[in-house]
Structure 1
Amino acid sequence: MRITDSQFTTMMTRAMMNSNVEINRVAEQIATGNKINSLSDDPSGSMKLLSLDKTISSAEQYSSNISNVQSKYSEYETYLMSVNDLVLDVHDLLLQANNATVGEESSGGIIAELESLRQQALDTFNKKSDGIYIFSGTDVYSEAIIVDDSTDPVSYSFGGNADHRNTKISEDGSMNSNFTVQETLQGSLDFFTTLDAAIAELKNPTENKNAILGAAIDSADATQKSILNTVTILGANYNSLDRMAVNNADAVLYAETVKTDINALDYAEASVRLTESMNTLQASQSVFAKVMTSSSLFDLM
C-alpha cells in the first residue's frame, strides 16, 4: 500500500507526540517517586490506591475519635475522684459527729464543713465543659441534679437523662463518651437527702441522732462504692480504647505498606524508559526532518 506524504506526516507527528507523552509521564514519575500519578497511568492500581487511602483516612479519624474520648474520660475521672474524696470527708465527719463526746462548738464546725462538702458535690455533678453539662446524658443543656429549695426539707431530682453519646472508634465498633450522674449514683439521690437529714439533726439533736447519722454514713459508704465502680468501668473502657488505637495504627501502617508496594517507583527502570523514550523521539525527529527537506518520500528510498 502506498503511503502519501500527508499520511507519513500524520504518522510521524503521532509518534513524536506519543514519545513526548511518555517522556512527560516518566519525568513526572521520577519527580514524584510514584508510578501512578493519574487514573490513566494504571486504572486498576489507581482504584486500589483510592481504597487504601479511604482505609487510612478512616483509621486516622477513628484514632482521633479515640483520643477525644480518652481526653473526656480523663476529665470524668478527675471529677469522679474529686467527688469520691468529698464523700470520704463526709463519711469521716459524720463518724466524728456521731461521737457522744463532740461538743457544741465542734459540732458547729462539722455542720459548716458538711454543708460545704454537700455543695461542692452538687457543683461537681452539675459541672459544665464547653458550655454543656457533662453528667446530664444527652440532654446536655439541663442540670444533672436539680435542687428545689422551696420545699422543706429541700428536695433533689435528676435532670438530663441517663443516655450515652456514642463515638465511632472502628469500622464496626463504638464507645460511649460520657458518664451520667444517674449511673454514677445508681439512680439514687439518698446521699444528699440523708446528708441533709444528718445536718438538720446536728443542728437540732433528737433521740434519733444515732439512727439518722448512721443512715447518712451508710449512704456515704454506698455512694463511694458506686463512684469507684464507675471509675473502674471508665478505666476498663480506657484500656479498650488503647487497644483499639493500636489496631488503628496497625491498619494505617499496613495500608501505607501496601500503597508503597503498589506505587513506589523503580528509579532504575524509570531511567531506562526515559532514555528509550528520548531516543525514540530523537530518531523520529531526525527522520521527520529529513522528510521535510526532501521533495518526496521516493527521494529517501
Structure 2
Amino acid sequence: MRISTLTMYNLSVSSMNQQQAAFNKVSQQIASGKRVVSLADDPQALTQALGVRQAQALGEQYASARVGVENALAQEENALNSVTDIYSRAKTLLVQASSESLADADRSAIASELTGLYDALLGVANTRNADGRYLFGGYQDDTAPFIKDAGGAVQFVGSKQVREQQVDGNRRMAMGHNGAEVFSRVHGSAGYGVEAAMENQGAARFGTITINNPDHANFGQAYSIEFVEQAGELGYSVNGGAVQAYQQPMQIALDGIELELSGTPVAGDRFNVAPGDALNTNMFTTFERAIAVLNQPSNTESARATRANQLRSGLQQLDHGLDNVLTTRAEVGARLNELETLEVMGGTRKLSQAQTLSDLVDLNYAEASAEYSLRIVGLQAAQKSFMSIQDMSLFKLL
C-alpha cells in the first residue's frame, strides 16, 4: 500500500501536537501544584473536590458564628459576675439594716448605698455589647430593655426572644439571655417565701417557714392569710376559708408547711405565702421596697414590724435572685464549654477535609517529575521522527 507524503507529514505533525499537549499539561500541573487543573483532567475528582470546598466554606461560616456567640457569652458572663457581686453586697446591707440597734440615720445611710447598688444594677441590665446592641434586650435594639415607669419603678420592656446563631450543622445556640430571665425570674427549685402586704397597719411579723411534709397533696400551693375581726375577737382565714382564732406567737399550719407569726396584727392585715416564683420576682422591685422602708422613720411598733417584714422578704428574694443568676451563669458556662468542643470538632473536620481535598486534586511531584521527563523524551522523539521523514523526500536527490 502506498502512503502519500502528505499523509506522513500529517501523521508526524499530529504526533508532535499530542506530545506537545501532554508535555504542556504536565508542565501546567507542576507549575500549579494541582493534579486536576480542569474538568477534563478528572471529572469525578473535581466534582468531589467542589463538594469538599463547599463543606469547607460552610465550616468557616460556622467557625465565625462560634466566635460571635463566644464573645457575646463572655460579655454576659462578665455582666452576671457584676450582678452576683451586687446581690451579695445588698444581702449584707439588709442583714445590717435588720438590727434593732440601728438608728434611723444609720438605716438612711444603708439606703443610700443600696440606691447606688440599685443604679449599678440598672446600668448592668442596660449594658451594650461590642456591636452596640443591648446585652439583655433580646431582639430589641432601639431602646433600653429596662426603663423607669411614671412611678419610678423599673420595668422590663425589651424582647423576650433571644438571637441565635447556627454554630454547627445541627446546632443553633442562643447568644445570651433576655433581661426578664435574669432579673425577673426565680428558679423553679426555689422554696417558699413570704410577703407582707404593703398596706398592713398592725405589728405582726412573720418568722421562719418550716416544711413538715413535702409529700402533702397540696404542697406547693399559694396561700393568703388575712386577719379579720369576728364577734369582737381577732382571727385569721386562709384563702378566704373559715376564721380561726389567732394568738401570738403561733405556728399556722398550711398543708405540709408551718409559718411562724408573732406580734399583734389588725383586721385587714395580710400575709402571702407561696413558692418563690409566685411572689415578687422583679429584683428591681426588691431594691425599691427595701430602699423605701429604710428611708421611713420607725418610731412606732407598726413601722418597725413593716420594716422587719420587708427586709426579711427582701433577703428571701435576693437569695432566690442570686440562685437564678448562678443558674444562668452555669448555663452560660455550659454553652461556652460546648462551643469549645464544637471548635475542636470543627478543627478536626477541617483537617480531614483538607486531606481529602489534597488527595483529590493535589499533585504527586515524584510521579509528575517522571511524567515530565517522559513527555520531554516523547516530544523530542516525535520531532526527530519528523525530521527523518523530511530527509526521505525524493526532491533531495534532484
TM-score w.r.t. length of structure 1: 0.90
Q: Work out whether residues 147 and 156 of structure 1, in 8 Å CA contact, stay in contact via their aligned partners in 2.
A: yes
SS class of match (2:40):
helix
Structure scoring higher RCO (CA < 8 A, sep ≥ 6) equals 1
Which is worse superposed, 61-70 or 75-84?
61-70
- Partner residue, 1:82: 82
Q: Work out whether residues 69 and 175 of structure 2, in 8 Å CA contact, stay in contact via their aligned partners in 1.
A: yes
- Partner residue, 2:284: 192
* Unaligned 5+ runs, structure 2: 186-279, 298-302
Which is worse superposed, 192-201 or 103-112?
103-112
Shift of 1:181: 0.9
- Partner residue, 1:111: 111
**Matched letter for residue 65 of structure 1:** A
Q: Work out whether residues 26 and 273 of structure 1, in 8 Å CA contact, stay in contact via their aligned partners in 2.
A: yes
Change (3 A) 1:189 1:274: same
SS class of match (1:143):
coil
Shift of 1:90: 0.9
Q: Work out whether residues 132 and 140 of structure 1, in 8 Å CA contact, stay in contact via their aligned partners in 2.
A: yes
- Partner residue, 2:348: 250
* Structure 2 counterparts to residues 38-57 of structure 1, below 5 A: 38-57=38-57
In 2, Cα distance between the equivalents of 1:79 and 1:251? 34
Change (3 A) 1:109 1:5: farther
In 2, Cα distance between the equivalents of 1:41 and 1:48? 13
In 1, Cα distance between the equivalents of 2:59 and 2:396? 67
Q: Work out whether residues 5 and 296 of structure 1, in 8 Å CA contact, stay in contact via their aligned partners in 2.
A: no
Computed over aligned residues only, the root mean square deviation of the Cα atoms, in angstroms, reads 2.2
Q: Work out whether residues 281 and 317 of structure 2, in 8 Å CA contact, stay in contact via their aligned partners in 1.
A: no
Which is worse superposed, 120-129 or 34-43?
34-43
Residues 145-174 of structure 1: CA distance to partner in whole angstroms, max 9, x if unpaired? 1211x32xx223211211121111112221
The structure having more radius of gyration, on CA atoms, is 2
Shift of 1:7: 3.6
Shift of 1:108: 2.7
Q: Work out whether residues 126 and 143 of structure 1, in 8 Å CA contact, stay in contact via their aligned partners in 2.
A: yes
Structure 1 residue 278 corresponds to structure 2 residue 376: yes
* Unaligned 5+ runs, structure 1: none
Which structure dedicates a bigger proportion of its chain to helix?
1
- Partner residue, 2:179: 181
- Partner residue, 2:275: none
In 1, Cα distance between the equivalents of 2:63 and 2:395? 68
Shift of 1:2: 4.8
Q: Work out whether residues 73 and 234 of structure 1, in 8 Å CA contact, stay in contact via their aligned partners in 2.
A: yes
Change (3 A) 1:19 1:114: same
In 1, Cα distance between the equivalents of 2:377 and 2:49? 32
Q: Work out whether residues 98 and 308 of structure 2, in 8 Å CA contact, stay in contact via their aligned partners in 1.
A: yes
* Structure 2 counterparts to residues 1-301 of structure 1, below 5 A: 2-129=2-129, 130-148=131-149, 150-151=150-151, 154-187=152-185, 190-205=282-297, 206-207=303-304, 208-292=306-390, 295=393
Shift of 1:141: 2.3
**Matched letter for residue 319 of structure 2:** D
Residues 100-128 of structure 1: CA distance to partner in whole angstroms, max 9, x if unpaired? 11234432321111101001101111111
Shift of 1:44: 0.8
Which is worse superposed, 78-87 or 36-45?
36-45
Q: Work out whether residues 62 and 168 of structure 1, in 8 Å CA contact, stay in contact via their aligned partners in 2.
A: yes
Q: Work out whether residues 186 and 226 of structure 1, in 8 Å CA contact, stay in contact via their aligned partners in 2.
A: no
Change (3 A) 1:209 1:122: same
Q: Work out whether residues 158 and 182 of structure 1, in 8 Å CA contact, stay in contact via their aligned partners in 2.
A: yes
TM-score w.r.t. length of structure 2: 0.69
In 2, Cα distance between the equivalents of 1:203 and 1:92? 17
In 1, Cα distance between the equivalents of 2:19 and 2:175? 58
Count how many residue pairs are aligned between Structure 1 and Structure 2. Answer: 296
In 2, Cα distance between the equivalents of 1:2 and 1:99? 126
Report percent identity of matched pairs: 27
**Matched letter for residue 145 of structure 1:** F
In 1, Cα distance between the equivalents of 2:321 and 2:21? 76
In 2, Cα distance between the equivalents of 1:168 and 1:258? 25
